Structure formats: structure tokens, C-alpha cells
């Protein structure tokens, strides 16, 4: 299928290094009025007055914004059950530790996931992916982590792979092997390194390995042991500094992690160290909105030259949202980003976190993952909230809506 999009305000985000840093994070490479030609799923040309090939569909943008599809580089979108009851308890003032003691929190989702079939998990994930697509997300990272046993973790990863076959966008699976734990953390983490990691590696040889470092999750020492083993064959990522700064961030830099995600509790010194490294920082403002109103210093990190990305953290407990436009709106209001910085963080830099170089910009040769907004001014992405600003979605050159 060939497609010509005419008379658009194009945010090309073209040129420069990946990921974007510093001043470049706010440079959108705007073509005020231009055309984009798509052929066989790829962008063939960007310019003015482009001719349409025979049989091509012509899409008139009427001056509206054309930009890369969003890349949501941190989600836990594959789960079963819900956490509505415990959310209501929190609204009524019940402490988090009491909810955990009563079987709530991550363990509740783990139980539901273990009871679900692979087909059921894939179907529920597909429904969430479709909702994401409608709001402009064309590439999604999806983590495991709600299994806590080798067979259950593999079931989740296979469900993610199964959903990917029926979705027009791109799904990138991540093995979150250090999420929660059962029993003694020392014994459990040894099991993960000796049994779970090799089993996952056999089935998914190139998958990124992730862990959640926090007081009620995995300690620094356990995360480091997992990553020391995993990084020999896999990219590594880590959740760190969500509630407490425990020292995982400098270890992640030392180990060559692709990203450190959350950063709400990171000190300015932590963020300066991260900004000077090759590791990306991923902020997740939907989490603060739903939980404790605590947000990462995204603007400070970006101004320090950090490689900043932005994601939803879609999950049933702390960030029940599928909307990247809403994440952008939150990041501008509470994390100190400009609208342009938030757009770069949610597109080209999200792709860089996932190791993808063929999307996130509008340039010849790139995968044609594109969205047309209802708006003629991209700042409205962050200014408005609560609705869907996306009018047209194109994934791999195929018009979805």
C-alpha cells in the first residue's frame, strides 16, 4: 500500500544523535507545510509538492500536525484480574502494608495471572494494546513479572508474543525477572539466576532483563547479581528510586544498563551522574498521579544533558492508564518538561531505550509509524488532557483509523 499525506505541519525530529539530549531534546525539526510519501510500509520521501504514485491513497492533513507514533517504552500491560478493591481501601485510608498483609498488591495480580491461560492473557493484553493504538501509540514495551515462577513467567512472555502477531504495531517484550519475590529473597533471587534466567534465555535469547529495586522488592545486591549474569547476553534495565534512593542508580550505570526507570526519589546528584552517562532515564508521571503525587525531576535531568524518555507505566496497581498523550500532559505540568521535550521523550528517545533505530522520526527509510493530530499546534498535546488528540493512526504504512 502506498500513501501520500499532504499539507501537514510535520514534526520530523530528523537528524542528530539518538537518544536526544540537552537542547536537541526540544528541537522537533518542523516542516511548516509539507508532504510525506509512504511506500511499502516505509517513509520514502518528505518534502513539498510530492507526486502521488499510481493507485496511492491521498490523505489531506489540512495543516494539522503529523508526527511519529508514540513509543511507550515502559509498561506492565499484560495482566489478569484487577486491583479495584484495594484501590478503594486506599481511598478510605487503609495503609499499604495492611493491604499487602491481606494479600493485596502485586501478589494479588500474581495469583490472577497464574490462574489465567496464555490465551486469556493474550486477549486481555490485545484489548489494552488496541486502546493504546487509538491514542497514537504504535510501539509498546510489555514486561512480564507477574508470574514469579519460571513456568508462569514464560506463560506471560508467550502471551505477549502471541498478542504481537495480531496487532498492527510493534510489541517489544521485556523479562522482568526481579519484580517481587516469594519466601526468602536470597533463596528466591538465586533461583531466578540459576533457573528462571536460563529458561527465559533459551526461549527469548535477545530479550531485555529488568528488575525492580525497592525496599519491599529486590535489594541492590540481588539486582546486581541478576544483572551481572544477564548482561553477558541480554540488555538490562532497572526500576529504581521510585520511593527510596537505595544506590541502584550508580550500579546501573556501572553495569551499562539501557535505562533507569522511575527516578521519583533520585537526588540531584543521582540525576547529574545519570545525565553524564550513556544510560537513559525514563520518567513515569502516571504513577505519581495515581499514587503519591511524587514526580521525577525530568526538566532538571534534561537540562543537565540527560537522555530522557517518557512512558505510561501502564499496570493494574500504580498506573492504570494506556494514554501517552496523558503522560505528556502530566510530564509538562509536574516534571518540568516543555511540550517539545515531552514529544521527543515519548517518540525518538523511547525508541532509543528499546534499541530501535527505525522509528521515532519522520525521515526517508524509517518505518511509517505516524499519527495525525486533530490540532494544528503540537503544544495542544500537553495543554489539553482527558480526551484523545489523535485523529489518524498509521502503523507500518497501514492506516488504522
Q: In total, how many domains does the chain have?
A: 2
Q: Among 374, 389, 283, 396, which Cα is nearest to 333's?
A: 283
H-assigned helices in 276-338: 285-290, 298-303, 324-334
**H helices, E strands: number in the chain:** 16, 16
Q: Based on the fold, state whether residues 371 and 338 are members of the same structural domain.
A: no
Same domain, 127 and 241: yes
Do 255 and 288 belong to one domain?
A: yes
User: Residue 163 belongs to what H/E stretch?
Assistant: helix 150-165
Closest CA to 240 of 217, 256, 272: 217
Domain check: are 341 and 379 in the same one? Answer: no
User: Hey, which bits of 154-235 come out as E strands?
Assistant: 170-178, 208-212
Whether residues 345 and 335 share a domain: the answer is yes
The answer to whether residues 57 and 1 touch, using CB atoms and an 8 Å cutoff, is: yes
* CB contact at 8 A, 179 and 148: yes
Query: Strand 370-373 vs strand 259-262: parallel, antiparallel, or unpaired?
Result: unpaired
Question: Residue 19: is the preceding peptide bond cis (ω within 30°)?
Answer: yes
Q: Given this model, what pLDDT does residue 96 score? A: 81
Task: Tell me the C-alpha distance between 354 and 335, whole Å.
Answer: 22
Last residue of a domain, one of 315, 330, 353: 353
Q: Write out the chain's pLDDT in tens, 401 residues.
A: 799 999 999 999 999 999 999 999 999 999 999 999 999 999 999 999 999 999 999 999 999 999 999 999 999 999 999 999 999 999 999 988 788 888 889 999 999 999 999 999 999 999 999 999 999 999 999 999 999 999 999 999 999 999 999 899 999 999 999 999 999 999 999 999 999 999 999 999 999 999 999 998 999 999 999 999 999 999 999 999 999 999 999 999 999 999 999 999 999 999 999 999 999 999 999 999 999 999 999 999 999 999 999 999 999 999 999 999 999 999 999 999 999 999 999 999 999 999 999 999 999 999 999 999 999 999 999 999 999 999 999 999 999 98
Nearest partner of 317 among 287, 277, 347, 353, judged by Cα? 287
pLDDT of residue 142: 99
170 & 241 share domain: yes
Q: Residue 1: its pLDDT value, please?
A: 79
Same structural domain, 309 and 364: no
Largest CA distance in the chain: 66
Q: Are 144 and 121 in contact (CB under 8 A)?
A: no
Last residue of a domain, one of 337, 353, 369: 353
Query: Nine-digit cell at 298?
Result: 525530568
pLDDT attached to residue 104: 87
Burial of 278 (0-12, 13-18, 19+ CB in 10 A): exposed
Domain co-membership, 185 together with 118: yes
Cell matching residue 393: 493512526
What CATH number does residue 246 fall under? Answer: 3.20.20.140
Cell of 316: 493494574
Give residue 278's pLDDT: 98
CATH number of the domain where residue 58 is located? 2.30.40.10
**Burial call 260-270: b when 16+ CB within 10 Å, e when fewer:** bbbbbbbeeeb
Same domain? 248 vs 337: yes
Strands 30-39 and 2-11: antiparallel
Q: Tell me which residue of 305, 210, 226 sits closest to 262, measured CA to CA.
A: 210
Domain limits for position 283: 71-353
Alpha carbon distance 210, 300 (integer Å): 25
Question: Are 307 and 339 within one domain?
Answer: yes
Residue 187: CB atoms within 10 Å = 10
Say if CB 173 and CB 154 are below 8 A apart: no
For residue 201, give the H/E element and its range. Answer: helix 197-203
CB 142 within 8 A of CB 171: yes
**Grid cell digits, residue 179:** 519484580
Rg (CA), the chain: 21
Residues 296/266, Cβ–Cβ less than 8 Å:
yes
Q: CB within 8 A of 183, min separation 6: which ones?
A: none
Same domain, 321 and 338: yes
Separation of CA 123 from chain center: 20
List residues bridging with 42 in a β-sheet: 39, 367
Tell me: do 199 and 333 sit in the same domain: yes
Amino acid at each position: 500500500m502506498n500513501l501520500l499525506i499532504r499539507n501537514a505541519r510535520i514534526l520530523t525530529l530528523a537528524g542528530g544523535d539518538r537518544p536526544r539530549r540537552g537542547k536537541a531534546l526540544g528541537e522537533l525539526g518542523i516542516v511548516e507545510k509539507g508532504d510525506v510519501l509512504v511506500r511499502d510500509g516505509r517513509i520514502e520521501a518528505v518534502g513539498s509538492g510530492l507526486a502521488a504514485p499510481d493507485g496511492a491513497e491521498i490523505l489531506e492533513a489540512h495543516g494539522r500536525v503529523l508526527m511519529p507514533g508514540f513509543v511507550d517504552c515502559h509498561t506492565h500491560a499484560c495482566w489478569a484480574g484487577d486491583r479495584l478493591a484495594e484501590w478503594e481501601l486506599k481511598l478510605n485510608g487503609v495503609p499499604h502494608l495492611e493491604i499487602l498483609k491481606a494479600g493485596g498488591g502485586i501478589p494479588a495480580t500474581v495469583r490472577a495471572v497464574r490462574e489465567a491461560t496464555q490465551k486469556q492473557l493474550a486477549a486481555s493484553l490485545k484489548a489494552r494494546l488496541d486502546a493504546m493504538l487509538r491514542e497514537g501509540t504504535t510501539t509498546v514495551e510489555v514486561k512480564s513479572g507477574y508470574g514469579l515462577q519460571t513456568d508462569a513467567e514464560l506463560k506471560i512472555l508467550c502471551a505477549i508474543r502471541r498478542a504481537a502477531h495480531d496487532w498492527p504495531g510493534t510489541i517489544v517484550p521485556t523479562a522482568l525477572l526481579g519484580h517481587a519475590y516469594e519466601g526468602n529473597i536470597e533463596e528466591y533471587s538465586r533461583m531466578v539466576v540459576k533457573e528462571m534466567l536460563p529458561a527465559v534465555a533459551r526461549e527469548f535469547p535477545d530479550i531485555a532483563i529488568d528488575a525492580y529495586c525497592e525496599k519491599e522488592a529486590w535489594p541492590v545486591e540481588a539486582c546486581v547479581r541478576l544483572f551481572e549474569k544477564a548482561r553477558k547476553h541480554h540488555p538490562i534495565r532497572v526500576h529504581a528510586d521510585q520511593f527510596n534512593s537505595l544506590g541502584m542508580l550508580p550500579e546501573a550505570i556501572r553495569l551499562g544498563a539501557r535505562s533507569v526507570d522511575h527516578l521519583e526519589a533520585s537526588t540531584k546528584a543521582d540525576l547529574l551522574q545519570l545525565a553524564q552517562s550513556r544510560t537513559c532515564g525514563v520518567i513515569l508521571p502516571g504513577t505519581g498521579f495515581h499514587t503519591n503525587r511524587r514526580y521525577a525531576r525530568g526538566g532538571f535531568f534534561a537540562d543537565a544533558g540527560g537522555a530522557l524518555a517518557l512512558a505510561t507505566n501502564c499496570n493494574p496497581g500504580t498506573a492504570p492508564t494506556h494514554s501517552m498523550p496523558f503522560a505528556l500532559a502530566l510530564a509538562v505540568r509536574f516534571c518540568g518538561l516543555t511540550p517539545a521535550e515531552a514529544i521527543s521523550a515519548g517518540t525518538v528517545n523511547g525508541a532509543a531505550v528499546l534499541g530501535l533505530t527505525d522509528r521515532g522520526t519522520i525521515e526517508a527509510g524509517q518505518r511509517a509509524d505516524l499519527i495525525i493530530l486533530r490540532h494544528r499546534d503540537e503544544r495542544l498535546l500537553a495543554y489539553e488532557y482527558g480526551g484523545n488528540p489523535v485523529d489518524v493512526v498509521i502503523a507500518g504504512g497501514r492506516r488504522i483509523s
